[in-house]
Amino acid sequence: KMDTTLTRMDTTFRRTMTSVTDLLFAVPKPRDEIKQHIIRKNQEYVTNLPLQMLLYFNCFYFPFWFIGCLVILELKWDRLIDLYRIVLIAIYTVYFIIEIVRLYLGYLGNLMERVPELAGSWLLTLLLTAPLILLLNINDSAVLLPLERALHILMAIFVGLEIIVGYFAIRAMVNYQVTKYHLQQFSDLDNMEDNDYFPETRYTS
């Protein structure tokens, strides 16, 4: 029963992310030159190297950032009013959880070329991570210390670059997979492997 529930949750997540991806990263029908390119390069990987490098270094930087923020929070605890003590604890807790999920989905989606997971990571970055790190950077009422501001600025740079690079990575991956899907429908390319993103198979794995 538990396996069935998890399978349904995974299916629902993939359907939702695929619908959002189709809306945000819509691509035109493949042109002849794109078709010929994919016919020649049907085994080409579309994993985005710059995005993977950003995620890789972000994974290493995040523990240092989080520990540094906690140490600084302890140092300035007596200078904070009760409201900002609660707010900062809540922000760091939520950020910690989101960051783990976001980096995992980004790694999985980019390396395995899975659009729903990569789109989920990108949406978490855009809608949750970016506002939180901006709030930490601009909220002077939280008694920002110089080292703390430096930590937040570097994290904000990671987040901003991942939003920009991630957008183009998803768009390129969607374009490649949609084009490949059309070729599988209308040509005899039996040697091309199926991809989970295509309608016939993307909800079954």
What is the Cα–Cα distance from 8 to 14, expressed in whole angstroms?
A: 10
- Per the listing, tokens 């290493």 go with 60
Own/partner pairs, 183-186, CB within 8 angstroms, 24+ separation: 183/30, 183/35, 183/38, 183/39
Spans of all domains in the chain: 47-177
DSSP string, the chain: -HHHHHHHHHHHHHHHHHHHHHHHT--PPPPHHHHHHHHHTTT-----HHHHHHHHHHHHHHHHHHHHHHHHHHHTGGGS-HHHHHHHHHHHHHHHHHHHHHHHHHHHHHHTT-HHHHHHHHHHIIIIIHHHHHHHHH-GGG---HHHHHHHHHHHHHHHHHHHHHHHHHHHHHHHHHHHHHHHHHS--TTSPP-TTSTTTTTT-
Residue-level pLDDT at 9: 66
Residue-level pLDDT at 113: 86
Q: Is residue 147 pLDDT above 70, yes or no?
A: yes
Average pLDDT in the 180-187 region? 67
Average pLDDT in the 194-201 region? 47
Q: Which of 24-28, 185-189, 200-204 has the lowest mean pLDDT?
A: 200-204
Residue-level pLDDT at 198: 47
Sign of the alpha-carbon dihedral angle for 140, 157, 24, 110: negative
Based on C-alpha coordinates, what's the Rg of the chain? Answer: 21
**pLDDT class for 175, splitting at 50, 70, 90?**
confident
Q: Is residue 95 pLDDT above 60, yes or no?
A: yes
Residue-level pLDDT at 204: 37
Q: Is residue 53 pLDDT above 60, yes or no?
A: yes
- Per the listing, tokens 């299916």 go with 11
Q: Is residue 4 pLDDT above 90, yes or no?
A: no
How much is the pTM? 0.72
Average pLDDT in the 99-107 region? 95
